[in-house]
Structure 1
Amino acid sequence: MSPSSRTFGFFSFLVFSLFSFVSSDDLQLLLKLKSSLVNSNPGVLDSWKLNSGAGPCGFTGVTCDSRGSVTEIDLSHRGLSGKFSFDSVCEIKSLEKLSLGFNSLSGIIPSDLKNCTSLKYLDLGNNLFSGPFPEFSSLNQLQYLYLNNSAFSGVFPWNSLRNATGLVVLSLGDNPFDPASFPEEVVSLTKLSWLYLSNCSITGKIPPGIGDLTELQNLEISDSALTGEIPPEIVKLSKLRQLELYNNNLTGKFPTGFGSLKNLTYLDTSTNRLEGDLSELRSLTNLVSLQLFENEFSGEIPPEFGEFKYLVNLSLYTNKLTGPLPQGLGSLADFDFIDASENHLTGPIPPDMCKRGKMKALLLLQNNLTGSIPESYTTCLTMQRFRVADNSLNGSVPAGIWGLPKLEIIDLAMNNFQGPITTDIKKAKMLGTLDLGFNRFSDELPEDIGGAGSLTKVVLNDNRFSGKIPSSFGKLKGLSSLKMQSNGFSGNIPDSIGSCSMLSDLNMAQNSLSGEIPHSLGSLPTLNALNLSDNKLSGRIPESLSSLRLSLLDLSNNRLTGRVPLSLSSYNGSFNGNPGLCSMTIKSFNRCINSSGAHRDTRIFVMCIVFGSLILLASLVFFLYLKKTEKKERRTLKHESWSIKSFRRMSFTEDDIIDSIKEENLIGRGGCGDVYRVVLGDGKELAVKHIRTSSTDTFTQKNFSSATPILTEKEGRSKEFETEVQTLSSIRHLNVVKLYCSITSDDSSLLVYEYLPNGSLWDMLHSCKKSNLGWETRYDIALGAAKGLEYLHHGYERPVIHRDVKSSNILLDEFFKPRIADFGLAKILQANNGGLDSTHVVAGTYGYIAPEYGYSSKVNEKCDVYSFGVVLMELVTGKKPIEAEFGESKDIVNWVSNNLKSKESVMEIVDKKIGEMYREDAVKILRVAILCTARLPGQRPTMRSVVQMIEDAEPCRLMGIVISKESDVKIKEIS
């Protein structure tokens, strides 16, 4: 080896030795940190190893300074999980940046975070931590703090902000912190450019000091409990680009001078109680997105909006706006959508909103618009939703509208349109809903309608269509609703309709149809309602209809002959006006001469009853045996090793709870476990649910009187159970029951909730404890419960689906304020049920279960909406979901549907205990219930819309149900 080589080698060794000396401590600390991430994404930390040639400075995500000291650790978006070791990190004295955002890290942040005194940048956002965030006043160099959406709870240490005067970004949103008034410490952070406090329990008024934060570019305090007016000092924030205050209780007008915020590009104050006109916004020419929906704004839309060069979306729905839409609206930008529904707007539709060819949705329902649809929209190839129902629009629909290739909804109902549906409709390959009801459309339907193969809902009622019904309807395999009543259709009902295997609602009443009823209709597996009344149909009633389970059957006022099938005889009134029919059981019909078949059917019917009774008796014996076994199991709890996990401040210990789990404290039993009332030494009352762990399944017999679940469930505690309970523990809402803690052992799980002294809504309406609830109280219960479900569905990144919404799971406090209870537990327990996917198991309670549960594994929040609709029907009618008077295989939804034939029949089903002066108000809520219980999930509103509709259903407003002389209820669909 040459001398020069030896010199170079020695120099390299010296440098490496010095480097190792500087970084050896950091190396050991990082390796210790790695060991805590046992569930980390494979491969991410492969470079973190002892013999790494470059030391810790070569580790993935690690940055060092010139001396080899670690200054930054950036492991964000790495798919990491496990409990992060903060004690190791905080020993790295030179660390200035720690970025862990968008992972699945868990654990509690230790108080020794205070040792991270060099930190300038801390990002723990979008993780699964637990417990409170510790005091951090020692981090006086901090400039960026991201804690958003990380499941922190408890009291946030606002006082620590007094030392963090250099903060530029403060992002705390989407954490279930304890409620706190807008913290004064925040308005002293004068260097802030980004403030995100949405959905972290901020209450009270926005302080005037907000105007001191003159560097702010982004201000978000949405999904909170803010009250009062927007302070006038906000106009000092001249650099503000984004302002989001939606979903609060703000009142008043936009402050004078608000229009001076020239840099605003995103403004969202939707879902508040703001009022006044929009004149202050006319000078905000840089707006890209303007969201003002669900307020009380009035006056005209400023014509300047039509000159905004950057505005791409505009939501103004559910206000009191008047006058015309600016005719230049959307013509200067890549306009995306407009929703100005539910106002009092007049004048024509602006013609150029799709001028740049980017528009996706035009929603102008429930206004007073006039004129015709502009021809310019026939070239809007990006349009997905075209909804202008309930206006005074007229003229023929431009032919190209029918065939727009990406259109999913055409909703032109309740206008004065005329003319035909053109053959262009065959080009509408993505069209799902075609609603033309209550117009003056005419001519024959084109056979080409079968080319719109994605159609699921076709509503053509109350028009002037004529001619034959196209046989091409049979090509629409996904069609679920076909309403053609009150037109001039003639000829036969196409036999091909029987190929629409998803059809649930078929209404062809009040036409001039002739010929026989196709036997193929009896092969429709999901058909729920069949109305062929007031036609000229002849021949026999097909025996195949006997196989259907219909909530509505109406064949009245035709020319049918022969015997009424025995299994259809329970549909009283469904066959009137057919003098050629006979029956052995319907007294109002002539008796059939050849009755041998009828006697045979009667014998079969009796045998079915006997066989069914034997099954019920066997089930009852099995049920009593299990109850006896359960009682034996409940005698004692094993006092083994208990683990308590708290989610709120507690004034009790696990011993206080465990010692109270005894028979004399038992107050309820359900499919998920027993419930006990616990009284603490200080008099505070708690409810404790005892979930037994078992290797065998437990069965809860159907019991309509107690509204218990119908599931078979395996109630084992697992890591998935703990994770889901952790998620539920983060829920903070006035209308969701408080979960204080969980206490677990190898054999049992105890969930400790707040105690609600007035029991459940089921008790108040149906049990021996029932109370004479006035309408005001029932209304408050409906609204509060709806808000609780809205929070579960919309308050998180993904919906928390309850899956067992019912009146017995709506608990009432001493003031009859409602709390949603038992949310999520059905899903949790099924996830442990022998490895079965929970969406493959029918969860819920008879009478509340959405129809799609029976034939679909796609379960989402719309199932909760259906169940909540049933609860609303209970509140309005006072009836249980299942009553003997409803008839065999019928529930309250079918019963209500069958009683919507006239205004008198609707009023008749309202609970007699509701005072006369409130009966029409109750019918408004019944309207909401009908929308919620639509058979198709896609036709049900979201819980956010349900809340809005209930809030609108107050005294002195018009009824939302219009009773027509055709014995059919017309319900305006909410966009």
Structure 2
Amino acid sequence: MLLKFCFLLAFVPSFIQSLDPTLNDDVLGLIFFKAGLEDPEGKLTSWNEDDESPCSWVGVKCDPRTNRVIQLTLDGLSLSGHIGRGLSRLQSLQVLSLSKNNLTGTINPDLSHFGTLHVMDFGENNLSGSVPDELFKQCGTLRVVSFANNNLNGQLPDSLSYCPNLVSVNFSSNQLSGRLPAGIWYLRSLQSLDLSDNLLEGDVVDGIANLYDLRALKLGKNRFSGPLPADIGGCSLLKVVDFSENSLSGSLPDSLQRLNSCASLYLHGNSFTGEVPEWVGKLGNLENLDLSENFFSGRIPFSLGNLHLLKELNVSMNQFTGGLPESLTNCVNLLAIDISQNNLTGNLPLWIFKMGLQRLSLSGNRLGGRIDYASFSSINQGLEVLDLSSNVLSGEIPSNIGVLSSLRLLNMSRNHLIGSIPASVGALKATQILDLSTNWLHGSIPPEIGGAVSLKELRLEKNYLSGKIPAQIENCSSLTSFPSIVCIATALPFFSLNNMVKQIFFKRWDGSDHFIFFLILTVLNAVLYPRVYGFSSVSMILSHNNLSGSIPAAIANLSNLQYVDLSFNNLTGSLPKELTNLSRLVSFNISHNHFLGELPVGGFFNTISASSVSGNPSLCGSVVNHSCPSNHPKPIVLNPNSSDSSHGGSSQNHRRKIVLSISALIAIGAAAFIAIGVVAVTVLNIHVRSSMSRAAAALMLSGEEDYSCSPTKDPNYGKLVMFSGDAEFAAGANGLLNKDCELGRGGFGVVYQTTLGDGRSVAIKKLTVSGLIKSQEDFEREMKKLGKIRHHNLVTLEGYYWTPSLQLLIYEFIAGGSLYKHLHDGASKNILSWRQRFKIILGMAKGLAHLHQVNMIHYNLKSTNVLIDGSGEPKVGDFGLARLLPMLDRCILSSKIQSALGYMAPEFACRTVKITEKCDVYGFGVLVLEVITGKRPVEYMEDDVVVLCDMVRGALEDGRVEECVDGRLGGNFPPDEAIPVIKLGLICASQVPSNRPDMEEVVNILELIQCPLEGQQEELE
């Protein structure tokens, strides 16, 4: 019978009319609907086509008077398939809820035939395509509609405005684009509107005041721009307002103060400016206020003390100055305060410790003063997170710190704290992270620290601690319990370890496996080391102190230790052999101490890197190339890998030669495959460059302006915006595009130097892609996003200028010139030292990692776009300009942006591969090799073309390491750093995107590779 219905499904429109009219339409419709589904858990087994009525079926509810189906609720039954036409037979249906399933396909427009439907819920499925405009043409009775958490695209249909009785609309977490429908503000019955986490754009226009009954407005995580609607205060019943993570700008509208019912106001992640007005204290029902990640300035309003119901306050990552208002003590319900990353000054407000908080973060300000004993005597013992890092606090750590019995994270790092670590830290039995690093602490590590039984991360590096490492640390039982953190390894993104292993083992570059394992483990270090509250890696970092004595054997009982760093101390003695029991070790650094004797054999220590044990001249073992003396009368154990001529030895050598032969064959095959790939990509690059050259040249010519025409000649014609500082130019408008001050030309435009009214030099980039640039609205939105990006290793965008025919970008001026000039300009007299080169590589990695953290792909990475400032720090520039183009077309990118052959990732030549951050990682890998070798990515010889990646890879495979480092260094470089960095560059430049690490992982690897020699002068100038 079921097969019959499946066969008839294709003929529903014509066949149903000819069926026996006594057959229940609802049964027939539901069976047709079921035929298009997969029911892996058998939840619909009660649906029998032979039944006369469906009213007893699972998920079906009928009207007792008419026996017709009025409700179909199949939420969370793991159903898959598509929404068939059969549902259109349910003419009395009022509630249709199919949420939390795996339904696919597009939205069936036949659903609009329900004239009685009150609720339509398809949330949390996998529906795709656009929302049909006809879906809401007959929606007079519809009150609730939800398509949240699907894969819908296109625009919101205007017909949504035809549903006068809508109470709740939820299209959140899709890929909807375009502007808000003009009529949406006329749905006067609307109480909840959730369009968050989409791609909606444009201004949020006035008219919202028409929604008298609106209680929840969620438009966060979109691309809206412009100011907040000025009439938003007309929605006096609003309880939740969420405009977070958009590109909104301007100041807060005064009408906001009329939202007396508002409990949650989320405006974080925008570009709001100005001071937060004092009337914010009138929002008496506020429980959550988040203004973080904006450009708010001035003082934190005193009136916040009037918000007696406030539970969470977050104003971090702004430009607030002054001190913290003591009026906050009136907020008796406050549980969390985050005021980190601002410019707050003055003394640490001690009254804040008496407020009953659970989470407090004041990090990244300029707060000073002491933390005295009295402030902790009456502190709230329910405090779970206390982050005072990166300030200028002085004095000693209070001796009664142990009263914080509920503390999970204590971070006082990067301050000016003195004195010793109090013994009461042993009473911090709930603390998982204890970070007191980078202070002026002295004395010994108290043995009472063993009482901190929940400790997973202990960071005391960069202090003046002395004495022995206490054996009592073995009592930190959480260092031996793994289940609480195992989720970290599975929850974080990680490029395939299997691919990493295969990639490295297929290239046995220098015949040593030590670095292979070291690199794998350092990648794991980067992955398993998230600094998040409540979770951490299992680590003990005590480096850069004056610790003495030996490593206590008890440390070997901390079986789940992953990261140990004891480097740069005065530790002595031999290493306990029991350390090989630490099976989960990822990094164990004991460099620059006074250890002696043989390195432990087994486990992690078979693969430990030479840099991790360097600076211990009395250590012996194969890793340090220092054989240990024979110790008779112990029995002599023959080395199975030795060249002994005995039968057994010959057999072992024979098997080893076979393995090496197979490995060599694999390496040759892999090298051939990579060479073919590189040649193919090179040919494709040349082809694209050739085909686009004429178009690119025409584009450059068409973008040229008459230099005598100043962009500010007509002040009413153009728009000049500065994110900070003076908006006037010292030389006047005529000095902006002075050809005598031209600095250079690139794929996006010409760069000039000029001076602002406040005396600062800036670089002006005149864009030459005007014909491709989006509208002024889109241009300004992207500029504001770029203007918010601030990092020590990124060139800062200071402002912009717009007219329809001329666009200027105003950058900070970097006097040192480009990295290309430092590496390849023959006129340059100063040769970059190895330390300078490593500093440049690490700085570039940090800059790119920050870009990727804010979801920005560079696309245009090359040595001409990396500038070097006066202190030798690199600053990556020209990022984000690809976002100005109407679409990221690969042809335009490959010719216009990726103009330097050799930096382009292979995926630019393959339209089926998605362009991601991994294309930046490829370009970074090439840059690493360029910095180390001093050679260009592609060099044209008289009869040959040399590809840098191939040249370096071949030299390493043949053991010719000296050819991989710039000969101008004269051998003045540490091999323990150079070789790992070269190999890291080759991995980043892998042909397969998934084999490349993330930039955050790269930063961690570089920091682990770095091994500055004690007492050796660093040539940074």
Do they superpose with TM above 0.5? yes
Question: Does residue 482 of the first structure (1) align with residue 540 of the second (2)?
Answer: yes
| TM-aligned CA distance change 1:418 to 1:141, over 3 Å | same
| TM-aligned CA distance change 1:394 to 1:617, over 3 Å | closer
**CA offset at residue 867 of structure 1?**
11
User: For residue 25 of structure 2, what is the aligned residue in structure 1?
Assistant: 25
User: For residue 245 of structure 1, what is the aligned residue in structure 2?
Assistant: 243
Q: Secondary structure at the match of 2:282?
A: coil
- CA–CA distance in 1 between the matches of 2:423 and 2:436? 16
**CA offset at residue 173 of structure 1?**
1.8
| TM-aligned CA distance change 1:262 to 1:872, over 3 Å | farther
The one-letter amino acid paired with 1:463 is: N
User: For residue 495 of structure 2, what is the aligned residue in structure 1?
Assistant: none
Q: Secondary structure at the match of 1:270?
A: coil
Q: Percent identity?
A: 23
**CA offset at residue 328 of structure 1?**
4.5
- CA–CA distance in 2 between the matches of 1:528 and 1:315? 36
Q: TM-score, normalised by structure 2?
A: 0.57
- CA–CA distance in 2 between the matches of 1:474 and 1:182? 60
Q: Which stretch of structure 1 is more off in the superposition, 61-70 or 206-215?
A: 61-70
- CA–CA distance in 1 between the matches of 2:664 and 2:974? 42
Residues 337-386 of structure 1 show CA distances to partners (whole Å, capped at 9, x for unaligned) of 222211111345555667675x4422221111233447458764443332
- CA–CA distance in 2 between the matches of 1:474 and 1:566? 30
Q: Secondary structure at the match of 1:314?
A: strand
Unmatched segments (≥5 aa) in structure 1 = 1-19, 570-580, 585-595, 632-662, 670-675, 678-733, 735-764, 767-773, 792-809, 830-863, 913-927, 941-960, 970-975
Please list, as runs of the form range in 1=range in 2, the aligned pairs for 1:418-817 lying within 5 A after superposition: 418-476=418-476, 477-478=479-480, 480-521=538-579, 524-525=582-583, 527=585, 530-532=588-590, 535=593, 537=595, 547-550=606-609, 552-556=611-615, 560-561=617-618, 564-569=620-625, 613-619=660-666, 814-815=892-893
User: For residue 752 of structure 2, what is the aligned residue in structure 1?
Assistant: none
CA contact (8 A) 2:257 2:282 kept: yes
Please list, as runs of the form range in 1=range in 2, the aligned pairs for 1:101-250 lying within 5 A after superposition: 101-134=99-132, 135-156=134-155, 158-177=157-176, 179-250=177-248
Q: Aligned pairs, how many?
A: 687
Please list, as runs of the form range in 1=range in 2, the aligned pairs for 1:897-936 lying within 5 A after superposition: 929=999, 933-934=1003-1004
- CA–CA distance in 2 between the matches of 1:622 and 1:510? 43
- CA–CA distance in 2 between the matches of 1:174 and 1:472? 50
**CA offset at residue 229 of structure 1?**
1.7
Residues 708-746 of structure 1 show CA distances to partners (whole Å, capped at 9, x for unaligned) of xxxxxxxxxxxxxxxxxxxxxxxxxx9xxxxxxxxxxxx
- CA–CA distance in 2 between the matches of 1:870 and 1:504? 29
| TM-aligned CA distance change 1:278 to 1:295, over 3 Å | same
**CA offset at residue 266 of structure 1?**
1.0
- CA–CA distance in 2 between the matches of 1:238 and 1:962? 62
Q: Which stretch of structure 1 is more off in the superposition, 160-169 or 270-279?
A: 160-169
CA contact (8 A) 1:344 1:368 kept: yes
- CA–CA distance in 2 between the matches of 1:127 and 1:65? 28
Please list, as runs of the form range in 1=range in 2, the aligned pairs for 1:334-353 lying within 5 A after superposition: 334-349=333-348
CA contact (8 A) 1:382 1:406 kept: yes
CA contact (8 A) 1:132 1:152 kept: no
Q: Secondary structure at the match of 1:72?
A: strand
User: For residue 940 of structure 2, what is the aligned residue in structure 1?
Assistant: none
User: For residue 315 of structure 1, what is the aligned residue in structure 2?
Assistant: 314
CA contact (8 A) 2:376 2:403 kept: no
Residues 735-768 of structure 1 show CA distances to partners (whole Å, capped at 9, x for unaligned) of xxxxxxxxxxxxxxxxxxxxxxxxxxxxxx99xx
| TM-aligned CA distance change 1:890 to 1:165, over 3 Å | farther
- CA–CA distance in 2 between the matches of 1:520 and 1:962? 26
CA RMSD, aligned part only? 5.6
CA contact (8 A) 2:242 2:267 kept: yes
CA contact (8 A) 2:405 2:429 kept: yes
- CA–CA distance in 2 between the matches of 1:967 and 1:811? 50
CA contact (8 A) 2:845 2:1002 kept: no
**CA offset at residue 118 of structure 1?**
2.2
| TM-aligned CA distance change 1:466 to 1:623, over 3 Å | closer
Q: Secondary structure at the match of 2:612?
A: strand
Q: Which stretch of structure 1 is more off in the superposition, 190-199 or 397-406?
A: 397-406
| TM-aligned CA distance change 1:821 to 1:293, over 3 Å | farther
Q: Secondary structure at the match of 2:127?
A: strand
**CA offset at residue 165 of structure 1?**
2.9
Q: Secondary structure at the match of 1:369?
A: coil
- CA–CA distance in 2 between the matches of 1:820 and 1:626? 17
Q: TM-score, normalised by structure 1?
A: 0.59
Task: Specify which structure has the higher proportion of helix.
Answer: 2
CA contact (8 A) 2:353 2:375 kept: no
Q: Secondary structure at the match of 1:345?
A: coil
The one-letter amino acid paired with 1:394 is: S
CA contact (8 A) 1:187 1:209 kept: yes
**CA offset at residue 619 of structure 1?**
2.5
**CA offset at residue 436 of structure 1?**
0.6
**CA offset at residue 480 of structure 1?**
4.3
**CA offset at residue 249 of structure 1?**
1.3
**CA offset at residue 470 of structure 1?**
0.4
Q: Which stretch of structure 1 is more off in the superposition, 534-543 or 138-147?
A: 534-543
Q: Secondary structure at the match of 2:663?
A: helix
User: For residue 769 of structure 1, what is the aligned residue in structure 2?
Assistant: none
**CA offset at residue 89 of structure 1?**
2.4
CA contact (8 A) 1:206 1:230 kept: yes
- CA–CA distance in 1 between the matches of 2:567 and 2:236? 62
- CA–CA distance in 2 between the matches of 1:427 and 1:510? 29
- CA–CA distance in 2 between the matches of 1:550 and 1:207? 61
- CA–CA distance in 2 between the matches of 1:171 and 1:541? 63
| TM-aligned CA distance change 1:929 to 1:966, over 3 Å | farther
| TM-aligned CA distance change 1:88 to 1:75, over 3 Å | same
Q: Secondary structure at the match of 2:152?
A: coil
Q: Secondary structure at the match of 2:89?
A: coil
Residues 365-418 of structure 1 show CA distances to partners (whole Å, capped at 9, x for unaligned) of 111123344745876444333211111223333455446454332211011333
| TM-aligned CA distance change 1:327 to 1:402, over 3 Å | same
- CA–CA distance in 2 between the matches of 1:307 and 1:888? 73
- CA–CA distance in 2 between the matches of 1:384 and 1:232? 40
Which one scores higher on RCO, CA 8 angstroms, separation ≥ 6? 2
CA contact (8 A) 1:299 1:321 kept: yes
**CA offset at residue 189 of structure 1?**
2.5
CA contact (8 A) 2:848 2:999 kept: no
User: For residue 267 of structure 2, what is the aligned residue in structure 1?
Assistant: 269
User: For residue 408 of structure 1, what is the aligned residue in structure 2?
Assistant: 408
Q: Secondary structure at the match of 2:322?
A: strand
User: For residue 396 of structure 1, what is the aligned residue in structure 2?
Assistant: 396
**CA offset at residue 37 of structure 1?**
4.2
User: For residue 298 of structure 2, what is the aligned residue in structure 1?
Assistant: 299
Residues 877-931 of structure 1 show CA distances to partners (whole Å, capped at 9, x for unaligned) of 657799688899999xxx9xxx9xx99999999x99xxxxxxxxxxxxxxx9567
The one-letter amino acid paired with 1:515 is: G
The one-letter amino acid paired with 2:609 is: L
CA contact (8 A) 2:26 2:69 kept: no
Q: Which stretch of structure 1 is more off in the superposition, 371-380 or 213-222?
A: 371-380
